[in-house]
Amino acid sequence: MKDSNFLKENNARHFWHPMTSPEDSMTEPPKIIVSSEGVRIRDIDGHDTVDAVGGLWNVNLGYSCQPVKDAISSQLQTLPYYSTFRGTSNDAAIELSYELAQFFAPDGLSRAFFTSGGSDSIETALRLARQYHKLRAEPGRTKFLSLKKGYHGTHMGAASVNGNANFRAAYEPLMPGCFHIPAPYTYRNPFNETDPAKLAQLCANALEDEIAFQGAHTIAAMVIEPILGAGGVIVPHPSFAPMVQEICNRHGILLITDEVITAYGRTGAWTGARLWGIKPDMMATAKAITNGFFPFGAVMLGDRMIDAFEGNPAAKIGHGYTYSGHPVGAAAALACLAETKRLNVVENAAARGTQIYEGCKALMEKHEIIGDVRGGHGLMTAIELVSDRATKKPIDGARAGVVQDVAYQNGAMVRVSGPNIILSPPLVLTQADADVILSALDVGLAAA
């Protein structure tokens, strides 16, 4: 490895980072992470911290998960790459499609389309939704609905269904025909409704209104995150997703769940769809599918899609990626799935999730700067920071940065996303690790 000065200088000089400005990378140089073990990461200056971000919501099994590393190295020896475009397949991807069909059977999903990550998975679902309606002689169904504050990735289609201006404005015009419904976000919403069940109903009514306004015959699909992640861990009332499903079904609109974060156990349920008792037509997954060790994703498909595409020679899928079904990614995913099931990570995610959620609520008693704490379903928790609790005035970015920096100095890497501190540690977290996160956060909040 090059020395620390070389790395710091050249990071500033040559490396444009995602989701930040080149200028910020110079004035606030990133921490250079050089190694990891278990749930901990170590930077080039020797700080060793519990990774409360879990990579980027993806390292569910921690950094040491040997079976996944072994699967990757052994697949690299036998078949490091081959395409799965028409005419060729590979054993790892076939076995994975079989295993995923078993895993997602309770969600009513039994076919897999492989991708290289979350944005790819969303893009795939959007495109297959349009094709589905064309195959069924309803070519006018081209529009998409999604939730404000939702995050679905960065490709043009995915960005178009994003519900946060930060990921849209600079890239407009985006794809026409995408419309956004208010999110069931009790802390701030246009209805000033704080009761979660009533708010869920108001948002469902807004969805009905938008469908009536657009005309159901123009709408292809609705995309929802079962729990909104990057938007600040917005947990809808349990009635919300079933209402969305019923409305979509009634209007012939496909339901896509974006489970790039929620699939594979993070919410304390195996999928977000199972958490809320819904059956989507498509489910976009990525991230934890390979524990973050290889860029990979899978869109799972249900009966409506199967009926429209299978047995129809005209249903040619003019879509796919060089890395769709990559054998190394597929081998990593197979090992991950086996470990995920063997370790039964949902149980620990639920237990540690409750510990962190309750711990954050206790911190709220102590720190005026906390306006809201959200979570309670597995290891997805957010603390929303405010400069004034009474007016809910959002905190300025610099103060949120202090929380992060001081927490880091005190043993935990946490993530700042807008006014939110987001906690999404690996699902193999121990009680002691969770205590480290909470006490580091306590010191960080006191310092801000």
Q: Catalog residues that contact ligand PMP under the rule CB under 6 A.
A: 117-119, 122, 151-153, 225, 229-230, 258, 260-261, 286
Minimal distance, residue 8 CB to ligand PMP, in Å? 26
Task: Identify the three-state secondary structure at position 43.
Answer: strand
- At residue 26, what is the residue type? M
Residue nearest to ligand PMP as judged by C-beta position: 118
Nearer to ligand PMP, 33 or 216 (CB): 33
Contact (Cβ atoms closer than 8 angstroms) between residue 327 and residue 290: no
Angle at 423 between CA 279 and CA 226, to 5 degrees: 15
Identify the H or E element spanning 362. helix 345-366
Minimum distance from CB of 206 to ligand PMP (Å)?
Answer: 21
Placement of tokens 């499609």 in the chain: 97
CB of 67 to ligand PMP, least distance (A): 22
Q: How far is the CB of 54 from ligand PMP (least distance, A)?
A: 11
Instruction: Closer to ligand PMP by CB, 117 or 375: give it.
Output: 117
Measured from the CB atom, is 411 or 418 closer to ligand PMP?
418
Taking the least distance from each CB to ligand PMP, the nearer of 308 and 330 is 330
State the angle between helix axes of 91-103 and 327-342 in degrees (0 to 180), rounded to the nearest 10.
30
- Which CB sits closer to ligand PMP, 153 or 359? 153
Nearest CB to ligand PMP, comparing residues 51 and 225: 225
Q: How far is the CB of 284 from ligand PMP (least distance, A)?
A: 7
Tokens linked to 428: 């193999």
Cβ of residue 415: shortest distance to ligand PMP, in angstroms?
11
Distances (CA, A) of 71 to 77, 78, 411: 10, 11, 31
* Residue 145: C-alpha distances to residues 166, 279, 317, 341 (Å): 19, 18, 23, 34
Q: From CA 144, how far away is CA 180, in angstroms rounded? A: 9
